[in-house]
């Protein structure tokens, strides 16, 4: 289940009251040294990001955010936060990635279930150190009291919101780096101005936590409208968020020749009537990445519809098929003129 954008306003307005009711002091200080110094803290609590980790109540200067179109990970709920050290702010770079100061962190927790049955599975952190970004995964214990560094990743058997029993994969440190790498450098991939609500950006600027709200940003659509909204922008946003961190110049799959970024306007670059660089079993016997009007003959959709290693795309981050995402991309291809 996706956290709606409206929850951000509710969180901002009620956080203090919630903490007071819980008997938790809101002024929990983040451990800046844990972010900046060499080495990897063994537990998530050492950072001080949360006043209450089990309930994901953020500490001081830790701000929740949501994405218009979120990355899909076996249907997990994502709880997203950013931390900015005192006296710093984000800088807008057009409608692309926000620029984070050294000492900042991006925190993302993956959870399954709802209400009392919600189970925190892992929390991934991106730490902006003086020598660049470092990505680390933390695995929550069964008691939901602590998350421990999982450099080697891990597997957890669970049931997805769609009712599928899967072996959920926590990525290892190298896999985190692979998805977040561009031109060999680790970078964030989620918080792009075009994929954040104008309301959130405005609130951050008003607080002095963002230098300016980008004007005229080509905002991605809200995924909540995926069943009835226009197929093309929804499909393009989905591919940008789920695939373009690898399929772009400088990305891990740049040798494929596919460029699935939102801003790419070349039909051939996004795969339309494009033959694969190498036709292996991942092509499924099809000739083109996208064949207009023929989703069942399009390599892109064939790979999206598979959970089989060696065929499935994305290669990392899913153990099941995103039926809703696949349906939007199918509708987009069907609407193309042959």
Nearest C-alpha neighbor of 58 from the set 29, 98, 37: 29
pLDDT at 93: 84
DSSP states of 88-148 as a string?
--BB--TTSBPBPPTT-EEEEEEEES-GGG-EEEEEEEEEEETTEEEEEEEEE-TTSS-EE
Average pLDDT over residues 130-155: 96
Average pLDDT over residues 231-238: 97
Would the pLDDT of 204 be above 50? yes
Residue in the structure block whose two tokens are 């050294």: 102
337 pLDDT tier (thresholds 50, 70, 90): confident
Question: Any idea what the Cα angle at residue 237 is, between residues 3 and 122, rounded to 5°?
Answer: 40
Taking phi over 0 as left and psi of -120 to 50 as alpha, with beta for the rest, 237 belongs to: alpha
Average pLDDT over residues 291-301: 97
pLDDT at 162: 92
Q: How far is Cα 5 from Cα 249, in angstroms, rounded to an integer?
A: 31
pTM across the whole model: 0.89
Q: How far is Cα 272 from Cα 298, in angstroms, rounded to an integer?
A: 9
Quote the distance between the C-alpha of residue 28 and its chain's center.
26
Both tokens assigned to 261: 């970024």
pLDDT at 27: 57
Q: How far is Cα 260 from Cα 274, in angstroms, rounded to an integer?
A: 13
Average pLDDT over residues 165-191: 82
% of the chain exceeding 70 in pLDDT: 90
Would the pLDDT of 24 be above 60? no
When mean pLDDT is compared across 4-13, 167-176, 295-304, the lowest value belongs to 4-13
Query: What backbone phi and psi angles, to 5 degrees, belong to 179?
Result: -75, -30
CB 102 within 8 A of CB 129: yes
Average pLDDT over residues 8-23: 38
Would the pLDDT of 15 be above 70? no
pLDDT tens string 36-78 = 999 999 999 999 999 999 999 999 999 999 999 999 999 999 9
For the four alpha carbons of 41, 47, 51 and 56, in that order, the dihedral sign comes to negative
Q: How far is Cα 285 from Cα 32, in angstroms, rounded to an integer?
A: 52
């Amino acid at each position: 289940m996706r956290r709606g954008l409206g929850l951000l306003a509710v969180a901002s307005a009620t956080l203090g009251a919630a903490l007071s009711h819980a008997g938790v002091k809101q002024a929990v200080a983040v451990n800046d040294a844990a972010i900046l110094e060499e080495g990897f803290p063994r537990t998530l609590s050492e950072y001080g990001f949360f006043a209450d980790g089990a309930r994901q109540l953020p500490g001081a200067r830790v701000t929740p955010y949501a994405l218009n179109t979120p990355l899909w990970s076996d249907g997990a709920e994502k709880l997203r936060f950013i931390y900015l050290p005192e006296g710093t702010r984000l800088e807008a770079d057009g409608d692309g990635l926000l620029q984070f100061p050294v000492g900042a962190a991006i925190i993302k927790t993956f959870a399954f279930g709802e209400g009392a049955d919600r189970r925190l599975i892992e929390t991934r952190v991106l730490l902006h150190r003086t020598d660049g970004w470092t990505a680390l995964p933390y695995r929550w214990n069964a008691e939901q009291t602590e998350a421990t560094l999982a450099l080697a990743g891990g597997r957890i058997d669970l049931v997805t919101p769609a009712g599928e029993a899967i072996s959920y994969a926590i990525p290892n440190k190298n896999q985190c780096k692979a998805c977040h790498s561009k031109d060999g450098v680790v970078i964030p991939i989620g918080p792009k101005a075009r994929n954040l609500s104008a309301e959130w950006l405005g609130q951050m600027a008003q607080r002095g936590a963002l230098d300016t709200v980008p004007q005229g940003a080509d905002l991605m659509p809200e995924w909540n409208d995926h069943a009835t909204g226009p197929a093309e922008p929804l499909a393009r946003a989905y591919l940008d968020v789920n695939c373009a961190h690898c399929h772009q110049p400088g990305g891990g799959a740049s040798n494929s020749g596919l460029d699935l970024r939102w801003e790419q306007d070349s039909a051939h670059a996004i795969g339309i009537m494009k033959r694969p660089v190498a036709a292996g079993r991942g092509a499924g016997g099809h000739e083109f990445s996208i064949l207009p009007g023929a989703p069942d003959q399009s390599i892109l959709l064939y790979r999206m519809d598979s959970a089989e290693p060696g065929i499935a795309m994305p290669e990392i981050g899913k153990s099941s098929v995103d039926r809703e995402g696949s349906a939007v991309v199918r509708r987009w291809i069907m609407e193309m003129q042959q």
